[in-house]
Structure 1
Amino acid sequence: MTDPRPINPMLKMVLEIGPVALFFIAFLRLKERSFTIAGTEYEGFIIATAIFIPVILVTTAILWKLTGKLSKMQVFTAVLVTVMGGLTVWLNDDRFFKMKPTMIYLLFGILLGFGLLRGQSYLRMVLEEVMPLEHEGWMILTRRFTAFFFGLAVANEVIWRNFSDEVWVSFKTFGLPVAMFAFFMFQSGLMRRYGIDGEDEGDQS
């Protein structure tokens, strides 16, 4: 397996975060408007979703072109955005797009939970190169991630079903990234306790 080609970190961040930021801006500008296309009336949320789909496909393709590699998460996200966003636009029903984060986090939680039942940490397979830990550390972190993903899925369902579109879009754009960042920050103690430095890892091989 070839390693991904290096890419400017700022460009990478723009390509990864840009589509979500554009969706947020488009929603703010279009949320009070409606558009009639081919005899069907669409709210601003639907139009913002229709804009988001090609943008994330283009940025994902650019990332692949520049780096020569995409993570499974990037591919899965692009596919799910296309499917759920496409259903949202086709059926003129925003519920499909709002359920997308729920499906993503449920899938991650189920996969990690399945690995735990087998006594394995699937999280380790993804993050071991950048975050080497002892086996027990990986198992603890995986249990925490599993609970965290299920919690995010529940939070997304509660918010989109009970609050306004503005609240949900703000939650998706800002709340989810902040929650993920805070979660990682709270794992610093575990990293220090179970972390493996390069020398120790070499001795164990």
Structure 2
Amino acid sequence: MTATSSEPAGASKLLIDLGPLIVFFAVNFLAPVDPLVKIFVATGAFMVAMVAAMIYSAIRFRSISPLLWFSGIMVVVLGGLTLYLHNEDFIKLKPTIYYGFVAALLGFGLWKDKPLLKMVLGSAYPGLSDTGWRKLTLNWALFFLAMGVLNELVWRNSSTDFWVGFKLWGAIPLTFLFAAANLPMLLRHGLTTEDKKAVEPGPIE
């Protein structure tokens, strides 16, 4: 198949964004190893799957998004520390750092009156007004900030298996539900009805 320079969409976007997480969940729940060490096996699988997703994006679309780069580097670095120090806290901190970084980045863009989501997702929201972009950016900044706090509360006050389950049954559904909840606001601010899609702004952590 000939590589293109288009942005990932549809099944390819889901594969890139969710594929590594699905591998992490599956290995953590299904690996036939001691429960005390399976999180480390899952972390290693997560690292390999994330690198594979980045390579796929580079080959298939001739690009790797900045957020995918950031997420991939964090997985490799914090996953490596998790395995080297045999301390699962590092991989649990990864979502908090990711959410906090993205929230700060979006907030900085709003402060500079430059909604960064418009630069990243402009083609996904045709017709959206500048007011709509500002509101969407603020909404996602607050959502990521809340998700960072929630991740901290969960991993510091529950078992590893519960935290992994929360990422699968909590964080991912919450992200998609939040994206869908923004649609009425987007339609009020000019989003064209023939392409009304709920698109999350980056890899789901």
Return the TM-score normalized by structure 1: 0.83
- Could you tell me which runs of 5 or more consecutive residues in structure 1 were left unpaired when the two chains were aligned: 35-41, 199-205
User: Which deviates more from structure 2 when the two are superposed, residues 144-153 or residues 70-79?
Assistant: 70-79
User: Which deviates more from structure 2 when the two are superposed, residues 3-12 or residues 56-65?
Assistant: 3-12
Matched, 1:155 2:140: no
Matched, 1:25 2:26: yes
Residue 8 of structure 1 deviates from its aligned partner by 8.6
Residue 118 of structure 1 is matched in structure 2 by 112
| Equivalent position to 1:81, from 75, 78, 83 | 75
CA distance in 2, matches of 1:116, 1:6: 24
User: Which deviates more from structure 2 when the two are superposed, residues 76-85 or residues 165-174?
Assistant: 165-174
CA distance in 2, matches of 1:44, 1:186: 36
Q: 1:113 to 1:15 in 2, by over 3 A?
A: closer
Q: Report if the CA contact (8 A) 1:30-1:45 is conserved.
A: no
Q: Report if the CA contact (8 A) 1:105-1:149 is conserved.
A: yes
Q: Which amino acid aligns with 1:155?
A: L
Residue 95 of structure 1 is matched in structure 2 by 89
Q: 1:13 to 1:157 in 2, by over 3 A?
A: same
| Equivalent position to 1:137, from 119, 132, 143 | 132
Residue 171 of structure 1 is matched in structure 2 by 166
Identity of aligned residues (%): 30
> Which structure would you say has the larger Rg?
1
Residue 198 of structure 2 is matched in structure 1 by none
| Equivalent position to 2:101, from 107, 120, 135 | 107
Residue 11 of structure 1 deviates from its aligned partner by 5.0
CA distance in 2, matches of 1:27, 1:5: 34
1:137-161 CA distance string (max 9 Å, x none): 1111111111111000000000000
Q: Which amino acid aligns with 1:54?
A: V
Q: 1:12 to 1:125 in 2, by over 3 A?
A: closer
Instruction: Kindly report the root-mean-square deviation, in angstroms, between the aligned alpha carbons of the 2 structures.
Output: 2.4
Q: Which amino acid aligns with 1:20?
A: L
CA distance in 1, matches of 2:63, 2:95: 23
Q: Secondary structure at the match of 2:164?
A: helix
| Equivalent position to 2:66, from 55, 64, 72 | 72
| Equivalent position to 1:58, from 27, 52, 60 | 52
CA distance in 2, matches of 1:125, 1:168: 33
How many matched pairs?
A: 190
CA distance in 1, matches of 2:110, 2:9: 36
Q: Report if the CA contact (8 A) 1:15-1:60 is conserved.
A: yes
Q: 1:120 to 1:10 in 2, by over 3 A?
A: closer
1:60-99 CA distance string (max 9 Å, x none): 2022111211211111111110011011001100000000
Q: Report if the CA contact (8 A) 1:32-1:44 is conserved.
A: yes
Return the TM-score normalized by structure 2: 0.83
Residue 195 of structure 1 is matched in structure 2 by 190
1:96-124 CA distance string (max 9 Å, x none): 00000000000011011111212221111
Residue 182 of structure 1 deviates from its aligned partner by 0.7
- Could you tell me which runs of 5 or more consecutive residues in structure 2 were left unpaired when the two chains were aligned: 194-205
Q: 1:32 to 1:160 in 2, by over 3 A?
A: farther
1:12-53 CA distance string (max 9 Å, x none): 53344222112111111348606xxxxxxx711112111221
